[in-house]
Structure 1
Amino acid sequence: MSQPTSPSSPASAPVPEARHRLVNVPGGRVHLVEQGTGPLVLLVHGFPESWYSWRRQLPAIAAAGFRAVAVDVRGYGRSSKPREVEAYRMLAHVSDNVGVVQALGAETATVVGHDWGSVIAANSALLRPDIFTAVGLLSVPYTPRGGPRPTDVFGQIGGSEEFYVSYFQRYGRAEAEIEPDVRGWLAGFYAALSADTMLPAGESNPFFVPEGGLLRDRFPAGTLPAWLSEADLDFYAAEFERSGVSGALNRYRNVDRDWEDLAAWNGAPIRQPSLFAGGAADASTTWLADAVKAYPTTLPGLVSSHILDGCGHWIQQERADEVNLLLTDWLHVLPAQMS
């Protein structure tokens, strides 16, 4: 794996304060936070997070000479929250990203995503290569559409236990677990997937619901991850306490619709310049190790790929400084890659 170097822009360069905006897109409105000027870099978060998961990347990307924009994905924070479950299909998320770029007056953007945001970023680049000219993927590798219907696959995983994606499928079921104590549930979920607080392998698997139990039964108790302060947790909890969690969970409830919608792109590669970074302790990276091995075929424009030792799922928060260097170094070589 290549090693990060120092960004070419000075760390001491003045960076304007981040500002919040609501922009109109065809599907509603998107809340975003932007900082800096220059080529547009769109940052897309995953579950269960918000624009705030990029709080340490916004100033670093801005200082490197770019316009960093972190969105609240539809269903989160201050962005629109349609009632219909099908309004959260992948095509709608791609449309939102296109709408944000256009609302900001840009013609093209680099898109970077984490977790579900990685999948949204990948599909944005796949479906609209005219707008998204480079793509960065964090924690969840690119896996082209293919294979059997996703819920059929998930239903066969785990034996007597239930895979978490299957558990999230029925509207209201996971909501009943999470919403009575949003703060406590988030603390446990973040801890379960963070390298410094996750339980030892084999002791408990937070991706499977025990028979007759809840997902939170598999969470470690007590200590917050080192990257997450009480104030950080308060912010995340307040966002979901205000909006509920159905919008966030509805992303999982569209996996079969996505499979149907994207049939024309079965097995399709993403050819734009790309970056991948994942944590060595992250199950999302280890379970999908074959997807990373397939990158010469599925991501032929890959510029750099990195597996960070001792890092869990929340990569840009667990290892903010290192990820900032990886991203800014990659961003600086993109013009050469695309010329």
Structure 2
Amino acid sequence: MLMSSSHPAAAVLAAVLAEQGVRHAVVSPGSRNAPLVIALHHQPDIDVRVSIDERAAAHHALGLALATWTPVPVVCTSGTAALNHGPALAEAFHARIPLLSITADRPSEVIGRGHGQTLNQAGVHGLHTVHHDVLDESTMDVDTLAAKARHAMRQALHGGPGQSAGPVHLNVPFEEPLYDLARAVAVPKAAETVPDSTSDRADLKVPEALRGALNEGKVLVVAGPRPAAVHRTPHATLKVNLPCLAERGAYVEGPLVTHGGERLLHDGQWPDALKPEAVITLGLPPMSKALRAALADVPHWHVGTDLEGEGSGWDIWATLQGEVSAAVLSAPTTHEAKEVWTRAQAL
């Protein structure tokens, strides 16, 4: 007989997390979050790690989510402890990482009445999450709690721009007693979902301006950190045939892939032989200031949702023309471009 916390919200949430493939959780010690810790502890498929400081715990969970590309919950007690998840949530928001902040709370009727470890936690991380919600067992039945938990998981994986991943905040109030065990509640099975065929963007055509630059061997791929497709298939790499500048964490490979692209610049400018007429980006924006400056005036396209779930990308140079299919990355380049970039790689 599977045991869990006597609090339905904690038991249901932990069961849904395990059902949805969560395998790691980070918890910080506390009293109000005891039901959540107990419920996670009784899920045999979830490895629960302890980190005393809430800020450090959130960054620990952030690293696990980045390494596994699966949602990882970080759990804390009520009060200002919840605010300490903020820095990691902000990083996850901008890097599109599925981090789950789960904050225990006191019952709503005692908020603002001078009780210790109490503040307005609901929605406190709204600016840097793709979804936030309250799981209140005092007003919700098991079906509602399970539905909200599953929706939160979907948002963590697909709730960001262009159906990308992102952080989620769930606030869970508990009445005392907090430490009691009970037989695990029966969680209703998740409804089967039909894949959304409209998300396939492989039919994105190559724009005429980009096609011209491809024919002339004047297209440069800039691969930033963490293309989402790579992390959906652990240890995978992305094949690129075109000249490509790759930053750490881009996980791309090909005969013309170059790391440390700043060394190819002369006084911050491209040599004429290497100067691109079009740029294709994938993953997060490049971190190198020198590369950003050198590409400031070049028209650019972003690999769209057929590969990454990243929508139209970031218009970091104010030159974004639109999306292109991932298929363009395997397009052939000219013999002259191969020779020029091969020589540049040897510098």
TM-score (norm 2): 0.28
Greater share of helix: 1
- Bigger RCO (CA 8 Å, 6+ sep): 1
Which structure is larger by alpha-carbon Rg, 1 or 2? 2
TM-score (norm 1): 0.28
